[in-house]
Chains A and B, each alone.
Chain A
Amino acid sequence: MRFGLSDEQKMLDESVRGYLTRALPLDEVRRITVEGGGFDVSLARGLSEQGLSGLCVPEAHGGAGLGMVEAAVVAEALGYAAAPYGFAGACVMAPLAIARAGDGGLQDEMLGAIAAGERRVAVDFSALAGTTGAADLQLAGKTLSGRATHLLDPGGATDLLVALADGRMALVAADSAGVAPGLRKTIDRTRPFGEASFEGAQARVLDAANEPLAVASDIVGIGRLMIAADSLGAGQRMIDQAVSYALEREQFGRKIGSFQAVKHMCAEMVAMLEPCRSLIWYAAYAQQHGTEDAPLVIRHAKAHLGEVTREVSRMATEVHGGMGFTDLLGLHFWYKRITFDRQVLGGPERCRSEAGVLQGWAAA
């Protein structure tokens, strides 16, 4: 009996973090974000070699077939590094959607290539996540038309996977006829965000699942869990930076960390964020084991992490004083990433509202 990571999970965590520390000093985050549009081929290749692209791909298709706890651990490490690498959509939601709802042929074609990092699939599930201006997609047979406006992880995308409000999912190659992908600018430039319009594009429909809506909703939940874990890592990084700055910066002849006003901010941040880690771990465990409370706990994880990391991102910046507000220090990469994470796939209000419906406290 253990509430915590296994030795194997700790090793995975250490190895991913070690790689990210070496590969992504702040200058590199800045370069990829500012000049590279939030995607870098060699970083993506390196992370594929670390096993990230195949983490959730079943072993039969050349992946590691690991579970939600492992994926959450990796997502947290990526958030900690503000890694310019789309993971939640391209490495977790897409392969799991294909593995669960794609037919054998599609699985054979896609999953091995995803694991190898040869194909990356951007996803848009906003029709199921309550996002404003959600896709007005039409799927007639295998012909897809309309617009997807909330495309997650378009960096280096070879394919696009979109979900319709009824749970049907369609996969199209990004370079096929009738597909016009584009990028959208958000506050967070560490990961690109996109859109696409479709005019009679030929799609592969993921129709092998018995209950398509249940599967697609589950994939949304998994994406929310990954995004929440990402913001946990980003929040932890901001706290660590604030504490080390408070130990270094002097004013009035003292380390600022010796002033209660400053140390209390640090204490409050830790007190808010630390329980979130247990919430994420439990939510991941619950999703992996399909426990009855999984849908509820994941919504709470997404909502609560969104609320807590907003506070943490503000307070950690404040601890740095004027330096925190500058571009020079780069703290803003995490601040912005947290802001994006809070909203994508449904903000706290939306997630809590769904949690109320789940418990029969409100009509759907």
Chain B
Amino acid sequence: MDLEYSERHRALQQEIREFAAKEGHRSPKTGGGRKRPDLKTLDWQALLLERGYFARTIPKKYGGYGAAPDVVEAAIIADEFSKAGLYPGIMNQGISMLVPTLLEVGREDQKEQWVETTIRGKTIWCQGYSEPGSGSDLAAARTRAELDGDHFVVNGQKIWTSSAHYADMMFLLCRTEPDKGKHDGLSYLLLSMKTPGIEVRPLTTMTGRAEFNETFFTDVRVPAAQIVMGRGDGWRVANITLKYERMLLGDPNKLMHRLNSIQNLMERTEIDGARIIELSEYRDRLLKLQGEVLAWKYHGMRLLTDLANDEDSGVRRLIVKYVGTMLGHRLSSLAVDVLSAAGLSYDPQGEDKDDDEATTWHIDYMYDVGLIIGGGTSQIQKNIIAERGLGLPREPKPKEQAAAR
């Protein structure tokens, strides 16, 4: 354990505090993030990139800050931004999932073309993974892409494509090698959402918003060079992306930030003249969650150390999505209970308007259930933890089961 602040760390902390005082008024409100970033958000993002408070370890030639990974620096930035209530930067599928995937296995020209524009928030991506017939069984994807000259021709349907209605690009898992096995027959393509033959139909969720979509492909032509790795490598690439998706979904900084917001909410919300934080039944719930979020925060620091040392985190990483999303839902549940006890209502104003605090928490409380399901459900995560992390045997396939009888 070596978490001493060096001179450099103290200087960074001081620098961020000065930055917060001087530039903090330019920060967009935290939360939200399910829309295309507006001008204010894009300006703030540019400022964060310039100062190295975002994409700090992405190489300069791809638009990042080019710093070496440093657990303490990352923790200082997250802490100071959370304390100052500053927007920590855009989180979307392109930034959190596609960019690290390309940095890990993309071609040089792909990194140069896509990383900078994506981390600047200018290029928005959506994820073409799930299909009506392949959800938890993702590798059963049937959307096919056949090579015709120097283009793949894509036909099929994807579902749960978040932000497809405003995305510029999609990363798509599709079947290019129908003769090969389930996992070996897949490829991973990057394609423009403006390509003819793509139809996006919104799906309304329980929040009342159309947060994701069904996407239909009819003879959509994608240049063959827009493949990541080679033909038949799609399952491998998709799993790299999933690894980053699951890390994002369990992000401890987000939960820390949320815990602070709930504490603040409980300190200023009253029932019958008493602040809710003074009521032991509610306070103990907050304290339980505080202990869990703290454990989660330090677990995140341990994972960052693994990453910096290029060590395999094994089961430590595999639990992230499951634990983080379940904890997120318990946090928003407490917020909703506090607000409901104080008699506040739910009154969403629609996607383009700002909602009041109670409504925002209620939307999170619903959205969090979606996060528990999306990116591989909690039950799929538990299979992965047990099988890949603990070495427990897979469930026998129906055929094997019949043969064993």
Contacts and interface: CB of A to CB of B under 8 A. Distances in A.
Interface of A: 1-6, 9, 69, 243, 246-247, 253-255, 257-260, 262-264, 266-268, 270-271, 274-279, 281-282, 284-285, 289, 297, 300-301, 303-304, 307, 349, 352-353, 355-356, 361-362
A263 B386 contact: yes
Given A1-B71, A257-B393, A264-B382, A282 B2 contact: no
Contact of B290 (A254, A278, A300): A300
Contacts of B379: 260, 264
Contacts of A255: 392-393
A258 B291 contact: no
B393 A275 contact: no
Interface in B380-400: 381-383, 385-387, 389-396
12 contacts: A2-B71, A2-B305, A69-B1, A255-B393, A264-B386, A266-B386, A267-B381, A275-B323, A285-B1, A352-B284, A361-B267, A361-B278
Nearest to A239: B390
A352 B294 CA distance: 13
A275 B383 contact: no
Nearest to A253: B404
A282 B381 CA distance: 27
B182 interface: no
B392 to A, nearest CB: 4
Interface residues of B, number: 53
Nearest to B70: A1
Given A3-B71, A264-B379, A278 B392 contact: no
A270 B1 CA distance: 22
B301 interface: yes
Interface stretch (B103-111, B126-134, B204-212, B314-322): B314-322
Query: Which of A3, A4, A284 has the largest number of chain B CB atoms within 10 A?
Result: A3
A268 B277 contact: no
Nearest to B381: A267
B72 interface: yes
Given A2-B1, A246-B392, 7 more contacts: A2-B305, A4-B306, A9-B1, A258-B395, A264-B379, A267-B389, A301-B291
Interface string B63-93: 0000000111000000000000000000000
Most A Cβ at <10 Å: residue of B294, B394, B396: B294
B304 to A, nearest CB: 7
Interface in B17-51: none
A262 B267 CA distance: 42
Contacts of A349: 284
A284 B2 CA distance: 12
Given A258-B393, A271-B322, A278-B299, A361 B283 contact: yes
A361 B290 CA distance: 13
Given A276-B295, A278-B295, A263 B287 contact: no
B353 interface: no
Contacts of B381: 267
A258 B386 CA distance: 9
Contacts of B295: 275-276, 278-279, 300, 304
A259 B393 CA distance: 9
A259 B394 CA distance: 8
B391 A356 contact: no
A261 to B, nearest CB: 10
Given A267-B386, A300-B291, A361-B283, A3 B392 contact: no
A172 B379 CA distance: 57
B284 A6 contact: no
A270 B2 contact: no
B287 A355 contact: yes
Contacts of A263: 382-383, 386-387, 390, 392
Interface of B: 1-4, 70-72, 267, 277-278, 280, 283-284, 286-288, 290-292, 294-296, 298-299, 301-302, 304-306, 308-309, 315-316, 319, 322-323, 379, 381-383, 385-387, 389-396, 404-405
Contact of A4 (B284, B302, B390, B396): B302
Q: List the 9 shortest-distance A-B pairs measured between CB atoms, nearest first.
A: A263-B386, A278-B298, A267-B382, A267-B385, A300-B291, A279-B295, A304-B291, A275-B299, A257-B392
Contacts of A274: 299, 315-316, 319
Given A246-B392, A304-B292, A284 B1 contact: yes
Nearest to B314: A274
Contacts of B382: 260, 263-264, 267-268, 271
Contacts of A264: 379, 382-383, 386
Contacts of B280: 362
Contacts of A3: 1, 3, 71, 298, 301-302, 304-305
A266 B383 CA distance: 10
Contacts of B4: 289
Contacts of B305: 1-4
Contacts of A301: 291
A168 B379 CA distance: 53
A279 B302 CA distance: 10
Given A3-B305, A6-B1, A275-B295, A352 B392 contact: no
B298 A352 contact: no
Most A-side CB within 10 Å, residue of B70, B295, B386, B394: B295
A349 B286 CA distance: 12
A23 B404 CA distance: 43
Contacts of B302: 3-4, 277-278, 281
Contact of B298 (A6, A266, A279): A279
A297 to B, nearest CB: 6
A133 B394 CA distance: 52
B261 to A, nearest CB: 16
A4 B298 CA distance: 10
Contact of B392 (A266, A277, A285): A266
Contacts of B3: 1, 3, 285
Which residue of B72, B283, B404, B405 has the most chain A CB atoms within 10 A of its CB atom?
B283
Contact of A1 (B72, B286, B299, B319): B72
Question: Could you say which of B3, B302, B386, B387 has the most chain A C-beta atoms within 10 Å of its C-beta?
Answer: B386
Contacts of A5: 1
Contact of A260 (B70, B278, B294, B395): B395
A247 B392 contact: yes
B2 A6 contact: yes
